[in-house]
Amino acid sequence: MFALSNLQGMAFRKQSRIKILILLFTTICIITSFSSCKKGTRTTPPTANLKQEKVVSKPSVPEADASGFCILTDSIPDVILEIRYFSTYNFVGKRVDGYEEPIALITKEAASALRKVNNELKRKGYRLKIYDTYRPQCAVDHFMRWAKVFDDTLTKSIFYPDLTKKQIFDRGFVATKSSHTRGSTVDLTLVDAQSGKEVDMGGVFDYFGQSSHTDFAGVTAQQHSNRMLLHDAMVRHGFEPIKGEWWHFTLSNEPYPDTYFTFAVKRSAIHPNQ
């Protein structure tokens, strides 16, 4: 009887030790798991997430620094210039602030891409006519002041006959910032090299309305073809269009995507010693 009791006691103590070991092991696992969570243990290889988290940013430059720009005609001597904001033939009706000379300034990268467009279209019998390229921030500010003077409707019949100035602002035709101010946007059209006449695009530059949309259905088949000739050449050489303006293109890989420059449109901004 004593032997049987002794065996039962030993068995009980063995079971107790096993239960304690199991409990201790479970506790260690829980503590380890909690500690891992606190340390942010990854379940995927670190390199996989590092690749996703990598942010590539281009260095910022001072807003008054024109060292990355050139005069467009130095790069493409045979372009035709009609810098509208130097003249009074624009939606403001007067020369726009910041346009001190009738020249086109543009980033060197955009000029290089535009030269390829020029070479392609020249072989097809066309020349490029430039309405606007770099636009200083003070010019954009001038547009904003103009948009707020509701009784100034001098150019309404030409550029916005179906809209009020408030609608021009609300629909984004005029805004506080412009891609032009970053230096790699160009407004342009085509000229027939033989006749010297502008190609018929079915609408005028800076017209605020539906007919300025690249895919506007109201133009003729020939006018649409002309728009697409310009559009396709620009896209082929690295520019992005916007749907609302058939004449407007921005270099896809623009060098200064976050900088809105302030220097005036004048030769001395590029060649200060001349």
Which of the pair, 11 or 126, is modelled with greater confidence? 126
Residue 270 has pLDDT above 90, yes or no: yes
CA atoms within 13 A on the CB side of 13: 6
In this prediction, residue 35 has a pLDDT band, given cuts at 50, 70 and 90, of very low
In Å, the largest CA–CA distance within the chain is: 126
Tell me what pLDDT residue 212 has.
96
19-23, 78-82, 89-93, range with the lowest pLDDT: 19-23
Which of the pair, 41 or 35, is modelled with greater confidence? 35
Residues 240-257 have pLDDT tens digits of 999 999 999 999 999 999
CA distances from 250 to 10, 36, 77, 136, 242 (A): 86, 49, 21, 16, 9
Tell me what pLDDT residue 17 has.
56
Residues 98-130 have pLDDT tens digits of 999 999 999 999 999 999 999 999 999 999 999
Q: Decide: 143 and 96 in contact? Cβ < 8 Å.
A: yes
CA distances from 134 to 14, 23, 40, 141, 243 (A): 87, 74, 48, 14, 20
In this prediction, residue 30 has a pLDDT band, given cuts at 50, 70 and 90, of very low
Average pLDDT value for the chain: 85
Residue labelled with tokens 């449109």: 265
Residue 237 has pLDDT above 60, yes or no: yes
Residue 6 has pLDDT above 50, yes or no: no
In this prediction, residue 186 has a pLDDT band, given cuts at 50, 70 and 90, of very high
255's tokens: 């060098």
Collapsed DSSP state (helix, strand, coil) of residue 60? coil
- Domain parsing of the chain, residue ranges: 2-53, 69-269
In this prediction, residue 10 has a pLDDT band, given cuts at 50, 70 and 90, of very low
Catalytic residue among 82, 109, 245, 254: 245
pLDDT, average across residues 203-227:
97
Burial class (CB in 10 A: 0-12, 13-18, 19+), 10: exposed
DSSP string, 13-27: HHHHHHHHHHHHHHH
Collapsed DSSP state (helix, strand, coil) of residue 263? coil
Residue 133 has pLDDT above 50, yes or no: yes
CA distances from 96 to 38, 103, 109 (A): 60, 13, 26
pLDDT, average across residues 129-139:
98
Give the single-character DSSP code of 216. -
Residue 32 has pLDDT above 70, yes or no: no
245 CB-near residues (< 8 Å, 6+ apart): 187, 212, 213, 214
Rounded to whole angstroms, the Cα distance separating 267 from 272 reads: 8
Q: Decide: 92 and 86 in contact? Cβ < 8 Å.
A: no
Which of the pair, 31 or 27, is modelled with greater confidence? 27
Residues 163-177 have pLDDT tens digits of 999 999 888 889 999
Give yes or no: 82 in active site.
Answer: no
136's tokens: 């200083």
> What are the E-state strand segments in 143-233?
185-192
pLDDT, average across residues 128-133:
98
Residues 36-79 have pLDDT tens digits of 333 333 333 333 333 333 333 455 678 999 999 999 999 999 99
Give the relative orientation of helices 108-123 and 221-236 as an angle to the nearest 10 degrees. Answer: 130
CATH 1.20.120.160 holds for 69-269: no
Tell me what pLDDT residue 62 has.
83
Rounded to whole angstroms, the Cα distance separating 131 from 94 reads: 15
Rounded to whole angstroms, the Cα distance separating 175 from 177 reads: 5
What is the reported pTM?
A: 0.78
